[in-house]
Amino acid sequence: MPELPEVETIKRTLTPCLQEQKIARVEVYHPGVIAAPGPEAFSRLLAGRVITYLDRRGKYLLVHLSGEYCLVAHLRMTGRLVFIEGAAPLANHTHVVFSLAGGRSLRFVDTRRFGRLYLVGEAELETLPGLRDLGPEPLDPAFDARALGAILAGRRRPIKQVLLDQRLVAGIGNIYADEMLFAAGIDPRRPAASLNQEEVARLRGAMQRVLEQGIANHGTSIRDYVDGSGRQGSNQEHLQVYGRTGRPCPRCGQPLERVRLGGRSTHFCPRCQV
């Protein structure tokens, strides 16, 4: 499932392909992926608009358009947005095609169809459910140890679950949560409020390092994720604990363990993470 580094990579790879491009036509092959407005209005309102710039908020990709509109993509499990240079045949599970000038196109492909596209006025962005409730961006310079400490204070839920709660911090999913807790040496099962100041500062540093490394490696391609040009990332080669149950901890050699936390698989080192 694409998390912050994957959506950021998609944004960065699509930006040079899409910026200043005019959307000539939109074909919707599976209306169920259009969350708002209806599929006909979606196509009609998009035709003729120019893409001004791309942005990201949490795991949402924002494609800003002329005339104060914004196309919002939430890729969820298996959604892909891929730029296609020429007249390539439609891949299986292509649900929407945004045709640009010169035969180029942006295609929304999603095998499991959990991804959603919204077309809204810029003014409505702040009221869009999901987007509206997002917590702060962990890579924002304002997200310092004090900001993280304020989020954790008083919360008895395990720290891992707090990191996954999009309303508290935006963009973190199962893979990066496990990696950042390992990098910080913190047991994922600990109540969030039990972290002392020094641990909060360590975790905040680990969050930023792990997310920035994910972006530098163009995202983690374990299952379906590809970037905006259809290429896989390489961060899966750098994961320390995620998906490595039973293998030696890269720091101490002890076998890594897996537990369920809030219904999610959680990978950690029982010796290094306290």
Point out the residues that are catalytic: 2-3, 59, 264
CB of residue 253 to Zn ion, shortest distance in Å? 7
In the complex with Zn ion, which residue's Cβ is closer, 130 or 185?
185
Q: What share of the chain is helix, strand, coil (3-state, %, to 5)?
A: 30, 25, 45
269 interacts with Zn ion by CB under 5 A:
yes
CB of residue 249 to Zn ion, shortest distance in Å? 3
Type of residue found at 177 = A
Could you count the other beta carbons within 10 Å of the beta carbon of residue 43? 18
Give the list of residues 6+ apart from residue 142 with CB closer than 8 angstroms, or none. 136
Helix locations, 103-173, DSSP H: 145-152, 159-164
In the complex with Zn ion, which residue's Cβ is closer, 70 or 272?
272
- Total residues contacting Zn ion (rule CB under 5 A)? 7
30 is in an annotated binding site: no
274 interacts with Zn ion by CB under 5 A:
no
Site for Zn ion in 236-265 (CB under 5 A): 249, 251-252, 254
Residue number with the shortest CB distance to Zn ion? 249
What's the distance, CA 11 to chain centroid?
Answer: 10
18 interacts with Zn ion by CB under 5 A:
no
In the complex with Zn ion, which residue's Cβ is closer, 231 or 271?
271
Which 3 state secondary structure label does DSSP give 64? strand
Q: Are 112 and 78 in contact (CB under 8 A)?
A: yes
272 interacts with Zn ion by CB under 5 A:
yes
Question: ω into residue 16 within 30 of 0, thus cis?
Answer: no
> Applying CB under 5 A, which residues contact Zn ion?
249, 251-252, 254, 269, 271-272
